[in-house]
Amino acid sequence: MFMFHRLLEGPGLRVCSLALILGVGLMASAGQAEEMHAIAMHGKPALPADFTHMPYANPDAPKGGRLTWGILGTFDSLNPFIVKGLAVQPIRAYVVESLLARGQDEPFTLYGLLAKSVETDDERSYVTFHIDSRARFSDGKPVTAEDVLFSWQLLRDHGRPNLRQYYSKVAKAQAPDPLTVRFDLTGANDREIPLILGLMPILPKHAVDVAAFEETTLSGPIASGPYRVTAVKPGASVTLTRNPDYWGRDLPVNRGLFNFDEIRLDYYREANGQFEAFKRGLYDFRVENEPLRWHDGYDFPAAKSGEVIRDTIKPGVPQPSEFLVFNTRRPVFADIRVRQALTLLFDFELVNRNYFFSLYSRVAGYFAGSELSAYARPADARERELLKPFAVQIPEEIMDGSYRLPVTDGSGRDRTTLRAALKLLSDAGYDLEGTVLRNRSTKVPFTFEMLVTTRDQERIALAFQRDLKRAGIDVSVRAVDPVQFDQRRLSYEFDMIQNRWDQSLSPGNEQYFYWGSAAADNPGTRNYMGARDPAVDAMIKALLEARDHTGFVDAVRALDRALMAGFYTIPLFNVSEQWIARWNRIERPQATALSGYLPETWWSKGEPQASPAK
């Protein structure tokens, strides 16, 4: 079980530094920096130390009522910090807190939460957190430095791969006093790690069974957040109830947030059934990802009468982008020329017109719509310097910004792209014999499977299947339920899937988790394509070491170029807006955060409340 057990403490889990080490050297080093109310990845925090609330929150929002979510899929665990199982992800945001909280109006700035202040030096060779003496877990026990050090060591040794990777960069951890924790980062050469540690989930040492931590559990965790788990129906629903004794309810970072007395998470196995449930008012809001449905699916009575409101929000972060992902662990996709050929064969113009009402755009790369994108932008001198050791593998058209995704005539029978694709396939050792593309040496037909889990994914897959048939490629489309899809995706048991990586304006250590070589064969990461590229690894290292905004942007663009050059995916489309449908019993602030919609800022509709101007 995850929680509600006494710690079975062994030598490997004891944090001996909790003897309250307080050496002269530690004090001298700590004296080099002053305590801060917030920390920014680059530059300074936007809000002063005496800020009263976040600009995107309504500090006068009424408390009460229930917010019901409709989530596609299922769950078998309430522990989102381990690989095993399908976890209830909102546990992380609503039940378990971290030392610092993210400011959603800035690229990457953290403000005090469990830690009332933070300090670090200019080199970021260490970070010290000063815990708020008022902080309490839901069982009333105080949050201490011992809990912080325990959480760090627990997640470093038993957590998800990304957590193990992040926290293993700490050289030494100490507790000078019961409410202070210092992490020595000597040798990490990673300026993001102080912020990553600030976002570390803090778990109570007295309530975690270390021996069983990596096993799935349906027991609600003891934690310090605003909500507690109060009811669980396995695979079907989870109910979170606001803790009336929540210690942090009046913190500026929380004012106007977490307004519902109850949050119910209802799970649906099938997308159409999920939408029908929304139409009947069985849950309160949905994020719409299907243009056809957004365009003409909201013609039911409640939407026509205004009971269902449709919000279109333009966030300021990189545009979410959908891709068809090649699993390069499979021999059929090991040759980059094959991946380039299949990219040519996808007829975006036809799909966008017929399926998406031409609502989508298409950009190569992984940071679309932001200054971080390298697509159609020439590399500057610093980018070229960063990529110089890998120049042989980065085409000049990607470096000079002239590379463009193929554009077809939209007929579904474009001859130009077909000829170019067949030429690349021939160079890779495949010949078209009649209507079948075969390996020149083995005579084995070129075939693979596309794994899908939603109707929308299936439509795209079937369209691509028709495109590929013209080149003699036999593709099977296999539809599975969300549970099996997630299991196969996490274990890399697929040839091709559709996936999306959401990016921020401050990409950091998670990029290793997305495309780093060390993540390629580590189950549970998001390196679904199996990228093992020294250029990608080097560019991630460079962005983490960047000292200023300009150097950071150059490093991210260089990473974008290295990823584009690998042709690991076929870009499908980019989403420039968030489409949110909600029943009018739910109200939201007038202000919108840089990151977009935030359910934690909403409230149950009652008397009209003034919302702060942005």
- The SS3 call for residue 71 is strand
pLDDT in tens, 301-328: 999 999 999 999 999 899 889 999 999 9
Confidence of residue 606 (pLDDT cuts 50, 70, 90): low
User: What residue type is assigned to position 514 of the chain?
Assistant: Y
pLDDT in tens, 164-208: 989 999 999 999 999 999 999 998 888 999 999 999 999 999 999
Q: What is the DSSP letter of 523?
A: T
Question: For residue 547, what pLDDT is reported?
Answer: 86
Q: Would you state the structure tokens that stand for residue 230, as one six-digit string?
A: 């109060």
Confidence of residue 25 (pLDDT cuts 50, 70, 90): very low
DSSP string, 123-140: T--EEEEEE-TT-B-TTS
pLDDT in tens, 256-281: 999 999 999 999 998 899 999 999 99
- The SS3 call for residue 273 is helix
Spatial separation of the C-alpha atoms in residues 243 and 258, rounded to whole Å: 10
> In 10 A of CB 614, how many CB atoms?
11
Spatial separation of the C-alpha atoms in residues 227 and 247, rounded to whole Å: 11
**Residues 254 and 53 sit within 8 Å (Cβ to Cβ):** no
Spatial separation of the C-alpha atoms in residues 210 and 197, rounded to whole Å: 20
* pLDDT, average across residues 533-554: 94
Residue 431 CA: distances (Å) to CA of 153, 329, 428, 468, 597: 55, 23, 9, 14, 50
Judge whether residue 369 has pLDDT over 60: yes
State the residue for tokens 């449930």.
277
Spatial separation of the C-alpha atoms in residues 109 and 106, rounded to whole Å: 6
Judge whether residue 114 has pLDDT over 50: yes
* pLDDT, average across residues 600-614: 64
Confidence of residue 32 (pLDDT cuts 50, 70, 90): low
Spatial separation of the C-alpha atoms in residues 206 and 141, rounded to whole Å: 9
Share of the chain above pLDDT 90, in %: 81
Q: Would you state the structure tokens that stand for residue 429, as one six-digit string?
A: 């050792």
> In 10 A of CB 244, how many CB atoms?
8
Question: For residue 278, what pLDDT is reported?
Answer: 98
Q: Is 515 left (phi over 0), alpha (psi -120 to 50) or beta?
A: alpha
Spatial separation of the C-alpha atoms in residues 180 and 174, rounded to whole Å: 8
Judge whether residue 16 has pLDDT over 60: no
Question: For residue 483, what pLDDT is reported?
Answer: 83
Spatial separation of the C-alpha atoms in residues 298 and 119, rounded to whole Å: 50
Buried b (16+ CB within 10 A) or exposed e, 399-415: beeebebbebeeeeebe
pLDDT in tens, 203-232: 999 999 999 999 999 999 999 999 999 999
Spatial separation of the C-alpha atoms in residues 295 and 284, rounded to whole Å: 20
Judge whether residue 612 has pLDDT over 50: no
Backbone phi, then psi, for 314, in 5-degree steps? -105, 100
For residue 550, the Cα-to-chain-centroid distance in whole angstroms is 24
Spatial separation of the C-alpha atoms in residues 124 and 508, rounded to whole Å: 15
Spatial separation of the C-alpha atoms in residues 135 and 142, rounded to whole Å: 6
Residues sharing a CB contact under 8 Å with residue 575, sequence separation 6 or more, in sequence order: 289, 319, 320, 321, 322, 360
Judge whether residue 412 has pLDDT over 70: yes
Buried b (16+ CB within 10 A) or exposed e, 303-328: beeeebbeeeeebebbbbbbbbbbbb
> In 10 A of CB 31, how many CB atoms?
9
Cite the DSSP H helix spans in 367-481.
381-387, 396-399, 415-427, 455-469
pTM: 0.77
Judge whether residue 395 has pLDDT over 50: yes
- Structural domains in the chain, CATH included, are 16-43+74-212 (3.40.190.10), 270-312+579-607 (no CATH), 321-568 (3.10.105.10)
Judge whether residue 5 has pLDDT over 60: no
